[in-house]
Chain A
Amino acid sequence: MATPSPDDVAASIQAYLSSRGVPPSQIWLRTFMPTIKLNSPIVALQKTALFRVLATDITTSLNKTSVQTLPGNVTNPAVKDQTLRGPITVQVLDVEDIGRSRWSQVEAIEAQERGETTKGREVIRVVPEENASSAEPAATSSGPHKLLLQDASGTNMYAMELTPVNGIGVQMSIGTKLVLRDITVARGMCLIETKAVEVIGGKVEAWDKKWRKERKARLKQMARLGGDGDQG
């Protein structure tokens, strides 16, 4: 079987990535092509391309003309309600569990650091009551979550899970890509539900590492500020 031409392969990859919501810029494609073997199966090449682009910062790697971005007034708190058709691709810069106090999250991290969650060495600190009537929301239940999203042009916007979305939580990677469709933006905050968001995945290694490292200190700081969530 003849080796396909680089142009054909590039076009195929571009089409595939576009269909997934992450149309690549020419610059990115040009740096990607030399790294692959042209005669590998095209499906494998597409998957590799997707994996790589999901690990990038979309403000630099995506084709700004083919990808939809957030409208200019999206974060305006004066606008009570607007709907965005999309599809708009965004990446996650930050995620918070706003259903639990920050301090309780700090305590949970510290317990883990003390080795109390290690297998065989677990320390039980809260004893369930025998006659507990209904299922009490345990301190460890998560959500809802508030996210900080960024589109390909660098615009930031807050988002909140109206109902739990699979893949969204404090263990998700920073730099995860989402595609938003038919979403409501209320007072500058995006309300997301399962039907409106597609979690494509991905991670920006450097951001994720930094986020995890700094998380405890940030939570502590936010707790001390009294938990005033007006960061809008």
Chain B
Amino acid sequence: MPRNGDGPMKVLCVAEKPSIAKAVANHLGGGQVNTRNIQGNVYVKNFEFQYSFPTWGNCNVTMTSVLGHLLSHDFDPRYKIWRDCEPSDLFDAQILTFVEEGKKGVASNIERQARDAKYLFIWTDCDREGENIGAEIRHEALKGNRSLSDPGKTVRARFSNIERAHIINAARNPVTLDEAQSNAVASRIELDLRIGASFTRNLTLSVQPMIHQHFRNKDQGVISYGSCQFPTLGFVVERYLRVRNFVPETFWTIKLMHEKDGIKVNFRWARNHLFDRMVAVILFERCLTSKTAQVMKVQTKPTSKWKPLPLTTVELQKCGSRFLYLDSHRVMQLAEALYQKGWISYPRTETDQFDCGMDLRALVQKQRQGGPWAQFARGLVNGGFSAPRNGRNNDKAHPPIHPVNFVAPEQLSPEEQRVHEFVVRRFLACCSEDARGSKTDISLLYGSETFNTSGLVVLARNYLDVYRYDRWTSSQDLPDFREGDVLEPTEARIHEGKTSPPGYLTEPELIALMDANGIGTDATMAEHISKIKERNYATTRPRARPPRQNNEDDDEDSGPDVPPAAQPDRGRGRGRGRGRGGRGVGGTNTRGGGGTSGVQEFIPTTLGVALVEGYENMGFDISLTKPFLRKEMELKMKAICEGRKTKAEVVHETIEQYRDVYVRTQQRLDALRAAVRKYCFSENG
């Protein structure tokens, strides 16, 4: 309602980043947007336009933004100097909240614009951090206009991408700020600060002096602790030590080959392999004694290779590492850029199921316009469309990552193209049929031993035609075997092999481990991985040699070497140390030179190993390098979001838990120092 004929009301909209503010302003302002600079900051702009809201009517809108978090938190200055207090004092020390120097202009812009605003409309990204930033924005706005705290005066937009219709819909359907989510973030910030700072100081004070003394320089900086980084480092070190300590062992297997109708068929021993030579030889002799083998089972049945699940952040990061040769940090940067430009949906999501109300066909139709997938998209529209699989997760905030609009690849930078192409291909694959084939399994009984083989005929590639990142190929044709056939195997022999160590951890493996052990949300995993590199606890290097499959298999029959597809090049085989079945997977990395291809593997530094082993040796009730403490913290964050726990409860409980750990580490610092001496100073024994 207009105010006493003074003209339309003012609505202040605030986004998280300038690019979002600009995009939203252009969609709502319909071309009539006035841009103004602000005082004190060159990146943030105010966009002015008119818009007619359903409940508020015609309004003057000022759309601006912040640059991520507005507020910073730190301890009261009297705790600044380390030697002036005990590190454990920081568990209870007062924390001050303030606007940091670089953001002062941004904050005062909000305050000023709020003065004559009737409503505050928050447009931060829709995740936990966004709710928290929204609360910070409100905090600053209230300084200029207390009435914005009245009911209904501050609202929030719900959006997952910045496509026009979606934004307009969000503008017309505001919701309220989620205080619970904001509180979860606030408690995480407080806990990370208290625990991070106290443990960092303690760790540095315990170990830095001895390092300085040993190397006779002050090169070693602060040795920092983070409740998520340490378990992440723990995974890296554990795998490293596993590889170094590995003892190869010999195993024996029986290989059976039978030639029929001119086809040589290899059979696999049902026992796989044994680590006892005597037993293997005795069993083998009994096979030979029985001279003939009998076909026990011939079974042909349809089989399929499932299309992929809708795309989550964790999946994107893993695939980015494996197929696109981009580390997780870079992948997220590129995905974020694509989102801000309106090409893909919000890239931070745990949801792997598409809401049934979503018009997926319309999205598929958009991809007919061009790109190497255009023809496939047309095929989907013309009847090949199939509903996507549903995963088990739904964070209720954002849909799976998908393309929102069509963009010609040439309009993107080369790296953006790779990520964008992956997102599109993945989405189209989700909307296709599973690949279908026919599998024949054959079982032989030879003596007391069973041998198996199988053949695959791929009948319909379906999704595989667009999703180049999966492989499935027909095996050789199998000759006709009938149940009950008795045959004399062409060749049977004992074969000896040796186990080999797993590879060092690759980034996709590390992400998978963090995910499986419940540490790091989709939003932060990449950060923690960056941090351990930054802090010099671990480094990465290209994988030199592909590790053996399954770390136990010296199987020469691991399938034909499939040449990499034209685009994009997969090159690398498995990163994990398990999982046999080279068949179907792209051949081993043959690109020797260059060093740019190939997945990166993590190698801890001596300091990294010393820290993990030092803390491990303190006893498993300490467990700072194990994931469960952090996992519990993350579960408690979730409880705050769901209203089951309050911020105060969670902060208190967690601080008490860590305080207890702190006291124990204090008593066992010798274990830490011994590890430093062992690894950093190479003093063994």
Contacts and interface: CB of A to CB of B under 8 A. Distances in A.
| Interface secondary structure of A, over-half rule | loop
Chain B contact-residue range equals 35 or more
B104 interface: no
B165 interface: no
A229 interface: yes
A98 B274 contact: yes
B513 A229 contact: no
A121 B280 CA distance: 39
A107 B249 CA distance: 14
B249 A227 contact: yes
A101 B628 contact: no
Interface in A202-232: 220, 223-224, 226-232
B581 interface: yes
A111 to B, nearest CB: 9
Contacts of B552: 101
Interface in B275-293: 275-280, 282, 285-286, 289
Contact of A125 (B277, B513, B616): B513
A121 B630 CA distance: 11
B246 interface: yes
A90 interface: no
B576 interface: yes
| Interface secondary structure of B, over-half rule | loop
Interface stretch (B11-19, B147-155, B172-180, B619-627): B619-627
A145 B247 CA distance: 21
B251 to A, nearest CB: 7
Contacts of A160: 279, 282
A181 interface: no
A102 B513 contact: no
Nearest to B501: A103
B212 to A, nearest CB: 32
Contact of B499 (A101, A114, A137, A189): A101
A227 B285 contact: no
Contacts of A177: none
B249 A102 contact: yes
B275 A100 contact: yes
Contact of A121 (B248, B448, B581, B626): B626
Contact of B272 (A107, A137, A158, A187): A137
A133 interface: yes
Interface string B205-224: 00000000000000000000
A6 interface: no
B578 interface: yes
Chain A contact-residue range equals 35 or more
A82 to B, nearest CB: 13
A227 B247 CA distance: 10
Given A115-B620, A121-B626, A124-B516, A98 B306 contact: no
Contacts of B248: 226
Interface in B82-113: none
B465 interface: no
Contact of A146 (B276, B513, B579, B626): B276
Nearest to B629: A121
Contact of A191 (B309, B448, B628): B448
A189 B309 contact: no
Contacts of A137: 272
Nearest to A191: B448
Contact of B470 (A81, A131, A144, A226): A131
B627 A227 contact: no
B274 to A, nearest CB: 5
B281 to A, nearest CB: 8
B628 A136 contact: no
A230 B238 contact: no
A42 B676 CA distance: 67
Interface in B31-56: none
A189 B620 contact: no
B238 A125 contact: yes
A139 B250 contact: no
A186 interface: yes
B278 A230 contact: yes
A2 interface: no
Residue of A120, A186, A191, A227 contacting most chain B CB atoms (<10 Å): A227
B581 A130 contact: no
A187 B285 contact: yes
A109 interface: no
Given A98-B275, A130-B309, A131-B305, A103 B250 contact: no
A183 to B, nearest CB: 13
A116 B626 contact: yes
A140 to B, nearest CB: 12
A123 to B, nearest CB: 6
Given A101-B249, A126-B578, A130-B309, A229 B276 contact: yes
B278 A124 contact: no
Residue of A81, A123, A162 contacting most chain B CB atoms (<10 Å): A123
B247 A224 contact: yes
A228 B250 contact: yes
Q: Closest 5 interchain pairs by CB?
A: A229-B276, A227-B249, A115-B620, A127-B512, A98-B276
Given A99-B273, A121-B626, A220-B247, 8 more contacts: A81-B289, A101-B249, A114-B620, A122-B628, A127-B513, A136-B579, A186-B286, A226-B250
Interface of B: 238, 242, 246-251, 271-280, 282, 285-286, 289, 305-306, 309, 448, 470, 499, 509, 512-513, 515-517, 552, 576-581, 616, 620, 623, 626-628
